[in-house]
Amino acid sequence: MVKVRTKDVIDKFKFELICGEDGINRPITTSDLYRPGIELAGFFDFYPAERLQLLGRTELSFFYDLDPEVRRERMEQICTDMTPGIIISRGQEPPLELIEAATENDVPVIRSHYKTTRLSSHLTNYLESLLAPTTAIHGVLVDVYGVGVLITGKSGVGKSETALELVKRGHRLIADYCVEIRQEDQDTLIGSSPELIKHLLEIRGLGIINVMTLFGAGAVRNYKKISLVINLELWDPTKVYDRLGLDEEKIKIIDAHIQKLTVPVRPGRNLAVIIEVAAMNFRLKRMGVNAAEQFSNRLTDVIEEGEHDDI
């Protein structure tokens, strides 16, 4: 499925379409932009025609120094049937040879008043957000003390009820039931809610509630970076649960590895408080304070001192 087309870029940044209107529905398949400087010099062996092409002041200054026949030939080679568009920065006038070649091959020629570097940055960020790898996970995403906590577990274990208690305690809901996740870079996962169920929370026995309507706009947000995964599972008396927190389990989502905690559920456990403490402890660890390691070091020191006393 095509995620973004040339028309989307034009509409997003209010670019001026010079020519090539018949090609504005061409797909953009990569967030990488290209400045065809070496191609203007005649080397096309590795020309990435599938990228958006960006012509700045440097490229056009070099281009105008070429012979008219060479200019026409270069532009015919740059404007291919798979090129999604050619963008002229700084509001410069597009060369006549470019307009003729682009019109013949239905390649959109677009003009922007942004400086070339700023234009490249804005375009890359926009395209990366749309073309990033995506997945969907059954769970609840909550912003707890600034930490994006993804709560997972089997259906009926109490994920939504825990999220409701967290919202009542002043934290913010991002998504319930289905969390859409996109990977923006190597270790950055951004979670959001499908538009259909945005701001909604399902509570068994109560039904669907609108969190923003009940608790106000401060109780929700549209997206959040996922930093911690907490898996809720029914208490298993035969299973040994981590009691120190020294072993950090990771879960792989798309290509990123996120810290995962497993919290057993049984009557009398306040899951909302446990998740709050888990989020605060996660922040402390990022600042270099690890209570489990400190306890382990103190315990090791006591044991070593006892051994020396026995000697």
Which residues are known binding-site members? 153-160, 202
H/E run at residue 151 = strand 147-153
114 shares a domain with 142? no
211 shares a domain with 111? no
Q: Which residues make Cβ contacts (< 8 Å) with residue 11, sequence separation at least 6?
A: none
Which residues are known binding-site members for Mg(2+)? 160, 202
Cβ 106 vs Cβ 79: under 8 Å:
no
Q: Which of 77, 100, 131 is the last residue of a domain?
A: 131
From residue 158, alpha-carbon distances to 54, 161, 231, 233 in Å are 51, 5, 11, 9
Pairing of strands 249-253, 16-19: unpaired
Secondary structure in 3-state letters for 175-200:
ECCEEEEEEEECCEEEEECCHHHCCE
* pLDDT (0 to 100) of residue 248: 80
- Mean pLDDT taken over the chain: 91
Q: Which of 104, 131, 158 is the last residue of a domain?
A: 131
Q: 19: which strand partners?
A: 109
150 shares a domain with 102? no
pLDDT of residue 298 exceeding 90, the answer is: no
Find the CATH number of the domain harbouring 104. Answer: 3.40.1390.20
Residue 251 resides in a domain: yes
Which residues are known binding-site members for ATP? 153-160
103 shares a domain with 190? no
195 shares a domain with 89? no
138 included as an active-site residue: yes
Give the mean model confidence (pLDDT) for residues 248-273.
90
Residue 186 resides in a domain: yes
Q: Which residue has the higher pLDDT, 289 or 38?
A: 38
pLDDT of residue 2 exceeding 70, the answer is: no
H/E run at residue 110 = strand 109-111
**pLDDT bucket at 205, cuts 50 / 70 / 90:** confident
Give the mean model confidence (pLDDT) for residues 230-240.
87
124 shares a domain with 176? no
Q: What is the pLDDT of residues 63-72, one digit of tens each?
A: 999 999 999 9
274 shares a domain with 157? yes
Give the mean model confidence (pLDDT) for residues 37-57.
95
Residue 306 resides in a domain: no
Residue 303 resides in a domain: no
In the block, which residue shows the tokens 């957000």? 129
The alpha carbon of residue 117 and the mean position of all alpha carbons in its chain are separated, in whole angstroms, by 22
**pLDDT bucket at 307, cuts 50 / 70 / 90:** low
Lowest model confidence (mean pLDDT) among 50-54, 214-218, 304-308: 304-308
Domains: count for the chain = 2
163 shares a domain with 120? no
3-state helix, strand, coil in the chain (%, to 5): 40, 30, 35
184 shares a domain with 109? no
From residue 169, alpha-carbon distances to 19, 143, 192, 278 in Å are 56, 12, 21, 15
Judge if pTM exceeds 0.85: no
**pLDDT bucket at 309, cuts 50 / 70 / 90:** low
pLDDT of residue 302 exceeding 90, the answer is: no
From the candidates 26, 51, 111, 159, give the one annotated as an active-site residue.
159
Residue 41: give the domain boundaries: 6-131
264 shares a domain with 164? yes
Question: How many C-alpha atoms does 148 have within 13 Å on its Cβ side?
Answer: 19
**pLDDT bucket at 301, cuts 50 / 70 / 90:** confident
Residue 86 resides in a domain: yes
285 included as an active-site residue: no
163 shares a domain with 111? no
From residue 278, alpha-carbon distances to 51, 74, 149, 245, 281 in Å are 44, 60, 9, 11, 5
Nearest-angstrom CA–CA distance, 5 and 26: 6
* pLDDT (0 to 100) of residue 40: 95
* pLDDT (0 to 100) of residue 130: 87
From the candidates 3, 57, 118, 138, give the one annotated as an active-site residue.
138
**pLDDT bucket at 251, cuts 50 / 70 / 90:** very high
Q: Of 134, 150, 131, whose CA–CA distance to 142 is shortest? A: 150
* pLDDT (0 to 100) of residue 294: 79
pLDDT of residue 1 exceeding 60, the answer is: no
275 shares a domain with 145? yes
Find the CATH number of the domain harbouring 158. Answer: 3.40.50.300
* pLDDT (0 to 100) of residue 308: 63
Q: Which of 131, 166, 188 is the last residue of a domain?
A: 131
Residue 308 resides in a domain: no
Q: What is the pLDDT of residues 133-187, one digit of tens each?
A: 899 999 999 999 999 999 999 988 999 999 999 999 999 999 999 999 999 878 8
pLDDT of residue 242 exceeding 80, the answer is: no
Lowest model confidence (mean pLDDT) among 102-116, 180-194, 245-259: 245-259
Q: Of 213, 173, 203, 209, whose CA–CA distance to 191 is shortest? A: 173
Residue 248 CB neighbours (<10 A): 12
